[in-house]
Structure 1
Amino acid sequence: MGAEERLAALKLELPPAPKPVATYVTALRVGEGLYISGHGPLKPDGTLILGKVGVDLDVEAGAAAARQTGLAVLATLKDHLGSLDRVVRLVKTFGLVNCPADFTEQPKVINGFSDLMREVFGEAGVGARSAVGAGSLPGNMAVEVEAIFQIKD
């Protein structure tokens, strides 16, 4: 089963593909690599999940925000590639969690993104990863994730 079939079987709703809010592009292809700029937890209605994990949101809500961020990344992939079936594998994830300095559960939060990638791409959705805390993120969004995918024509 391909990624498009898995997405349909999971009955997931993708938000609109995010547009750049500053001087950058949301995705840039270099050879077989597709570099995805930092994405936030964009919902289908165009709003973001906001707040500091460990203060405004618990770990479970933070993981849900990371999952929603994954849906935004999938929307960008689909918009840029035409089909998620062009993804060969997820190479690298860099996840940032908006949290206080003493918060230590960043990996559990970013699992929301990583688990979604595994659901959609199978084992090819599991790649190298970093999960770190940030004292703040743009617009007070809860999570930001950037990723690198290997793609095929």
Structure 2
Amino acid sequence: MSPESRLRDLGLILPPPVRLPPGVVLPFAMVRVVGDRALISGHGPQGPEGSLAPPFGKVGAEVSPAQAQEAARRVALSVLGSLRRELGDLGRVAAWVRVFGMVNAAPGFTELPAVINGFSDLILEVFGPEVGAHARSAVGMAELPWSIPVEVEAEVWLRPT
């Protein structure tokens, strides 16, 4: 089953391009295709209209681990939206290579892998274990932009066009 079909079957809708706070300009591409690779810049959780989605704050303090895991799932949808806009079709993804998950962690919060599982689980649901399997890191950060709880960057390998 294609990733596009799987998204439909799961009832998932990809958000539009991110709407950043007023005055913010990002001087880089959200997805950069180089040869047979797509490098995906750090994405945060988005709402259906494109704005950064709450909750905001540190995981383990203002944001619960369950809320953060859901935020990581929203990050996956954001990444898939950017990939689709750049590639035209998510079926071009031959393999997920690497995922780097960052958690806005309160001091002492160590459940970082469980939070980023929200991202990984969605990728595996949409792409299946053969294409969706990836290498991964999950790290805690002192701060993330705009107090988002989770940010993820990634790399995928592309099918030839």
Q: Which of the five TM-score ranges fits, normalised by the shorter chain?
A: over 0.9
| Partner in structure 1 of residue 5 of structure 2 | 5
Quick one: distance in 1 between partners of 2:109 and 2:2?
37
2:29 to 18, 25, 29: 25
The answer to whether 1:70 aligns with 2:79 is: no
Aligned pairs for 1:3-152 within 5 A: 3-18=3-18, 21-48=25-52, 49=54, 50-123=56-129, 124-152=131-159
The one-letter amino acid of 2:35's match is G
Quick one: distance in 1 between partners of 2:27 and 2:107?
29
Kindly report the root-mean-square deviation, in angstroms, between the aligned alpha carbons of the 2 structures: 1.3
The one-letter amino acid of 2:156's match is F
Which sections of structure 1, spanning at least 5 residues, go unmatched? none
CA-to-aligned-CA distance 1:47-74 (integer Å, 9 cap, x gap)? 3232211011111110000000000000
Q: CA deviation at 1:19?
A: 6.7
Identity %: 47
> Where in structure 1 do 4 or more consecutive aligned residues deviate above 4 Å?
none
Which sections of structure 2, spanning at least 5 residues, go unmatched? none
TM-score normalized with structure 1 length: 0.96
TM-score normalized with structure 2 length: 0.91
Give 3-state SS (helix, strand or coil) of 1:43's partner. coil
